[in-house]
Chains A and B, each alone.
Chain A
Amino acid sequence: MSLKIIEARCKGCGICVAFCPKQVLGISEIEKVKILNASACITCRQCETRCPDFAIFITEPVPTP
């Protein structure tokens, strides 16, 4: 499982849902991101890159500069 969600930061804007190429994510009844299908995640970081609220992360290292 390489997705980490920090629910307290999520504002339910739906950006991560809209740009996930694998329909991994959805929005819950309480307007927070939720994982619908973790096993489909290809760790492409599209969600992490565009989440304006630093609420979703891939738990794999980023390259050192």
Chain B
Amino acid sequence: MFMEQLIEKYFRPGRLPHIWCPGCANGIITGALVKAIYRTGLDKDNIAVVSGIGCSSRASGYLDFNTVHSAHGRALPFATGIKLAAPQMTVIVITGDGDAAAIGGNHFIHAARRNIDLTVLLYNNNTYGMTGGQYSPLTPTNSKASTAPYGTVDRPFDLAALARGAGATFAARGSAFHAPMLVDLILSGIRHKGFSLVEAVASCPISYGRQNKLGDAPAMLKWQRDHAVPAAAYEKLNDEQKADKFPIGVLHQADAPEYTEEYAKIIARARKEGGH
């Protein structure tokens, strides 16, 4: 297969060019997703892609799987329903930092707590891109936003740590610049049985980059190149060095009972003991 054919295979016919701004990393991350799906060898019909609302969440509309473009923050409840009704299906959630960590934060921690077998691909552009650059729970402290013209005083979540604390059994972080590694991380997330978070550091040159004078699209990707450190090497840095960097790679992996499997056991028990 050629790369152009691979993209065509997983995109709905006639949907490109997409609507994302010039240099927006969302296309790089969506490309990484379909490359990972190609490597799973799974049939398109056995995959569901569910997204919330935001620039990033528009990805579901371009992709040729069973797709749901749901409501802001609510991708995980929709995905949970699909997974419970059709546990054999591979369910992938596409979400933004606002979608997953702000309005959808409660759904996020509870899906993680249940360890339901979903793969969450979170496009982290540090802002509400679609609505013009308001700060999100993943906007770094002191960054400017349309709702924080002098810089935000909020501290951002470390979402991988939050997911781990809530009970997720897989958490990874990649970046658009390190796109081939991101493909590997998404593939590992899909293969992992249980709740998997793959945070993809994105770049929004328009709603976030401009306000923060981060330069053009290539400059924002170069920033990722220069500030991402493989997780093992990151652990060896001192606090001062860590402050300027972020770890990429698999950050957490564990074994725990998976929700739909446990639920199937309850159904079997209810059938037996209920006499049906």
The residue that A15 contacts in the complex, of B1, B20, B218, with Cβ under 8 A, is B218
Contact-residue size bin, chain A (C-beta under 8 Å from the other chain): 20 to 34
**A48 / chain B contacts, CB cutoff of 8 Å:** 3
The residue that A4 contacts in the complex, of B4, B17, B179, with Cβ under 8 A, is B4
Instruction: Please tell me if the beta carbons of A9 and B17 are within 8 angstroms of each other in the complex.
Output: yes
Mask, A6-49, CB within 8 Å of B = 1, is 00110111110111000000000000000000000000010011
Q: Could you show 6 A-B contacts with beta carbons less than 8 Å apart? A: A13-B216, A14-B218, A15-B217, A52-B217, A60-B2, A65-B41
**B217 / chain A contacts, CB cutoff of 8 Å:** 13-15, 52
In order of increasing CB-CB distance, the 3 nearest A-B pairs are: A52-B27, A18-B218, A13-B23
Identify the closest chain B residue to A13 (Cβ). B23
B26 interfacial by beta-carbon distance below 8 Å: yes
B6 interfacial by beta-carbon distance below 8 Å: yes
Mask, B1-32, CB within 8 Å of A = 1, is 11110110001000011101111111110010
Closest Cβ–Cβ distance, residue A52 to chain B (whole Å): 3
Closest Cβ–Cβ distance, residue B42 to chain A (whole Å): 10
B176 interfacial by beta-carbon distance below 8 Å: yes
Instruction: Please tell me if the beta carbons of B23 and A15 are within 8 angstroms of each other in the complex.
Output: yes
Mask, A49-60, CB within 8 Å of B = 1, is 111111101111
Which residues of B from 21 to 49 have beta carbons under 8 Å from A? 21-28, 31, 38-41
**A9 / chain B contacts, CB cutoff of 8 Å:** 16-17
**B40 / chain A contacts, CB cutoff of 8 Å:** 65
Identify the closest chain B residue to A14 (Cβ). B218
Instruction: Please tell me if the beta carbons of A57 and B216 are within 8 angstroms of each other in the complex.
Output: no
A25 vs B217: C-alpha distance in the bound complex, in angstroms? Answer: 16
